[in-house]
Amino acid sequence: MKVRKKERTESAAIGLPRKDLRSPSKAVKGGKELVRVTAGDIMTRDVITVSADTPIDKVAEILMDKNIIRVPVTQDGKLTGVVSRCDILRSYMEPEFITHL
């Protein structure tokens, strides 16, 4: 089980620090036209991820501790999916949901 951790305060987005949500306006204020701002200009490079074999209780703990709604799931360094708080709640409320995946 591999879990990447950060010490910065997280937003409710996918493992993104709060400061990164303001990056487009920072780029514009820095002289870049908004139409020229790219995903690479504002993306977060230090994203919290979990592996596919991370237990759901650990994923829930990460989401709560880091104040995020979703966390990317990776395997062999590649994105394989995303787990959200809603996915976790649905799995507890609708156990048959898990067997249909």
Q: Please report which confidence band the pLDDT of residue 62 belongs to, taking 50, 70 and 90 as the band edges.
A: very high
pLDDT over threshold 50, residue 31:
yes
| Counted domains in the chain | 1
Tokens matching residue 10? 């997280």
Model confidence pLDDT, tens digit, residues 68-83: 999 999 999 999 999 9
- Put simply, whether the predicted model's pTM sits higher than 0.85 gets the answer no
58, part of any domain: yes
Concatenate the DSSP letters of all residues of 26-38 into one string. Answer: HHHHTT--GGG--
The whole-number pLDDT of residue 35 equals 74
Domain harbouring 62, CATH code: 3.10.580.10
7, part of any domain: no
pLDDT-above-70 percentage for the chain: 61
3, part of any domain: no
